[in-house]
């Protein structure tokens, strides 16, 4: 798989990135460690060399699973992790990075990201200058290779960039969730900041595997996702059926089609999770799907049937 430059750094990432929130098990059901390890290894074998995780995914459990999966191939893998909103003081950032390095059995992270802005989830408000100072220190020490932010608005990215180079933004972004296009994307394009889109398949909605009668238990994060509720859900299912015809033209799955659309957007790369090896391999093949300008425009029109009814709040869940 052809790689792309991460922001203005010397890190090279794959346009399809393996997400490992599910490896932490919290907020997910039916996850098996052995299957996730096989999925990570299968993703690497299929050309996905970039893996995204975070300290908060299962309180470090996801990072530990990633470590097991890549122990014999660390030098060929790009690892991105994140520090959570409750660890953004100077010393807390340094300590959180050390924990992630230990969990991942490595002495450096290719990308280290602020997971949520300070103050999120009732966390203490910490000046961004203090957090960036710690991240810059980690850069100097060689413990991280690039700095990124996640769930930041355009204004918040610009403020952070006053204190150091920001190479990536990780927002929720998919055919069915496009608020970033009206906020941070123009800034990212202008400043060559890579967009690493999470929930790129709208938590499975864009795979076409769900039905109108589907229900989700409280412990499943989808039960709190706005796209899976009421008329939003029904509109999304109708849009999926329209997308199916385009996928058939390319002899690809709906998931591959949706990922192909996403990585064709400016500065955009797609984080896609996988429960097993088959899903990971299928996701990797999305990089081979080439969409025409007309098809990209057609998919844009179809997606608007869903997105035009959503509010401006970029957070996907009613936590």
- Cα(108)–Cα(110) distance, rounded to whole angstroms? 6
Residue (of 119, 137, 179) closest to 154 by Cα position = 179
What secondary structure letter does DSSP report for 179? G
- CB-based burial of residue 311 (10 Å sphere; 0-12 exposed, 13-18 middle, 19+ buried)? exposed
How much is the CA Rg of the chain, to the nearest whole Å?
A: 18
The first and second tokens of residue 61, run together, are: 């459990």
Show the CA angle centred on residue 199, arms to residues 168 and 232, nearest 5°.
130
- Is 173 part of the annotated catalytic residue set? no
Give the strand pairing for 268-273 and 16-19.
Answer: parallel
Rounded CA separation 282/278 (Å): 6
Q: Which of 27, 57, 61, 233 is catalytic?
A: 57
**Which residues are the active-site residues?**
57
């Amino acid at each position: 798989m052809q790689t792309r430059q991460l922001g203005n750094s010397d890190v090279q990432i794959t346009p399809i990135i393996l997400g490992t929130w599910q490896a932490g098990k919290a907020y997910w059901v039916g996850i098996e460690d052995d299957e996730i390890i096989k999925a990570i290894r299968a993703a690497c074998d299929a050309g996905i060399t970039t893996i995204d995780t975070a300290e908060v995914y299962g309180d470090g459990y996801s990072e530990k699973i990633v470590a097991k999966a890549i122990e014999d191939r660390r030098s060929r893998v790009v690892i991105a992790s994140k520090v959570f909103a409750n660890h953004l003081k100077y010393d807390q950032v340094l300590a959180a990075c050390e924990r992630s390095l230990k969990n991942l059995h490595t002495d450096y992270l290719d990308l280290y990201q602020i997971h949520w802005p300070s103050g999120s989830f009732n966390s203490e408000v910490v000046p961004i200058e203090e957090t960036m100072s710690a991240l810059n220190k980690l850069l100097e020490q060689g413990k991280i290779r690039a700095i990124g932010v996640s769930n930041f608005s355009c204004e918040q990215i610009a403020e952070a960039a006053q204190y150091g180079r920001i190479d990536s933004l990780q927002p929720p972004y998919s055919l069915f969730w496009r608020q970033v296009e009206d906020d941070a994307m123009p800034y990212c394009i202008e400043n060559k900041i890579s967009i690493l889109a999470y929930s790129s398949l709208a938590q499975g909605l864009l795979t076409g595997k769900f039905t109108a009668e589907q229900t989700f238990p409280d412990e499943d994060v989808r039960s709190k996702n706005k796209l899976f509720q009421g008329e939003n859900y029904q509109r999304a299912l109708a849009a999926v059926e329209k997308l199916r015809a385009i996928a058939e033209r390319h002899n690809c799955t709906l998931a591959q089609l949706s990922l192909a659309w996403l990585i064709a957007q400016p500065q955009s790369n797609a984080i896609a999770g996988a429960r097993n090896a088959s899903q990971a391999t299928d996701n990797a093949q999305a990089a081979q799907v080439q969409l025409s300008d007309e098809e990209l425009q057609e998919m844009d029109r179809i997606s608007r049937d869903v997105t035009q009814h959503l509010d401006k709040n970029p957070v996907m869940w009613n936590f």
